[in-house]
Amino acid sequence: MKAAVVEEAGRLSIRELPEPSFGEYQARCRLMYGTLCAGTDGHLLRGDPPFCYWTKRPFVIGHESVGQVVETGRRVRYLKPGDLVTRVGTPAVGDVHSTWGGFAEVGIATDWRAMEEDQASGWDNPSLRVQQVLPPDMDPMVAPLFITWRETLSYLTRMGVSPRRSVLVIGSGGNGLAFVSHARNLGASPVVLVGSPQRLETGRQAGATEVFDYRAPKVWDQVRSVVPDGFDFVVDAVGKASNVAEGQRCLKPGGTIGIYGLDECGTITLAPSRTFTYYGGGYDEAETHEAVLAFYRVGRLDPGVWIDRREIFPLTDLAAAFEAVRSRRLVKPLVRLAATS
């Protein structure tokens, strides 16, 4: 099978690797589509902190992928051939490690429900629960977005975002746009986005009530004027020290700020003179699967905000997908992983 492998910091290759084996509670899947995550995938490719501290190279990159079940192990009960499963990737193969292994032609899904029922070894591994079966009519091009949608919805709900609360989102990448859509879907208002000039209209499409170019003169004065008493919630989807500093100034006393991005991991400080809550609780992607599916079903998550079905990159041209992200030409490039027929 073909797989996208980070050989060393900044160097990507497409390798032929042996297909991974699968166990009695697992299923072999044909990986269909994936989306590129500008944040995590970009940091992993470059070898930035904190990933460089625990990631062994070479490794198969990618974590936003969907697989179709082809063959199942003998104890599998809740996966069947043809099922579309989220967050499928390939494990380590030979001397090649795996961060999640989503950018490959073949992956392995685990029937964690059967494992739980049987109390099989490893059944309580929470990371397995992200592998959820999607309805049979789901568009496989849309399916990889469930990873982004579920993570960000879990993060916001755990922060406490609720109806009629004000939310400021800093960053207009895939995650930032997801925070905007979810905040509106949770009933928050106003929902303000500070992002790149190329993404302001996309921010409106995602549901932002106000959008601001982060490079505009006195932009933070303009942001604060929207909610003069301060925002209830601020989310920095990028993770930059300057964003967090300005975000703290936009909070109302007792408001909550969350730092979701990792661009300047380890260099960000919080102002001790201000009274606010720092949210550091993370997310549980699996817990919001049904809620995301429900929002999508009623048209409250528009895939066109994130992906362009007219431009699909083959796995062998993943480098071009990275370039489309770097240039901000696309929010989340769509990658065809294996033959779809």
Length of the chain: 341
pLDDT above 70 covers a percentage of the chain that reads 99
Would you call 118 helix, strand, or coil by DSSP?
A: helix
Determine if the peptide bond prior to 49 is cis (ω within 30°).
no
Whole-number pLDDT of residue 341: 47
**Nearest of 39, 52, 31 to residue 131 by alpha carbon:** 31
The pLDDT, as a whole number, for residue 340 is 58
The DSSP annotation for 154-197 comes to HHHHHHT--TT--EEEE--SHHHHHHHHHHHHTT-S-EEEEE-G
Which residue type is seen at 309?
R
Please count the other Cβ atoms lying within 10 Å of the Cβ belonging to residue 46: 12
Q: Across the beta sheet with 59-60, what order do the strands follow?
A: 11-16, 2-8, 59-60, 97-98
* Amino acid letter for position 141: M
- Of 126, 61, 71, 70, nearest to 97 by C-alpha is 61
pLDDT digits (tens, 9 = 90+) for 129-181: 999 999 999 999 999 999 999 999 999 999 999 999 999 999 999 999 999 99
3-state secondary structure of 253: strand
Sign of the torsion angle spanned by Cα atoms 21, 27, 28, 31: negative
pLDDT tens-digit series, residues 64-122:
999 999 999 999 999 999 999 999 999 999 999 999 999 999 999 999 999 999 999 99
pTM, to two decimals = 0.96
- Mean pLDDT for 262-283 is 87
CA dihedral 150, 151, 157, 160 (to 10 degrees): -170
Residue with tokens 């066109």: 304
What's the mean per-residue pLDDT of the chain?
95
Kindly give the interhelix angle for 145-159 and 289-297, rounded to the nearest 10 degrees.
110
Q: Supply the pLDDT for residue 267.
A: 86
| Residue 47, pLDDT score | 92
Write out pLDDT tens, residues 286-301.
Answer: 999 999 999 999 999 9
Domains located in the chain, CATH noted: 2-142+307-336 (3.90.180.10), 148-279 (3.40.50.720)
pLDDT for 262 equals 87
Flag whether pLDDT at 266 surpasses 90: no
pLDDT at position 244 over 90: yes
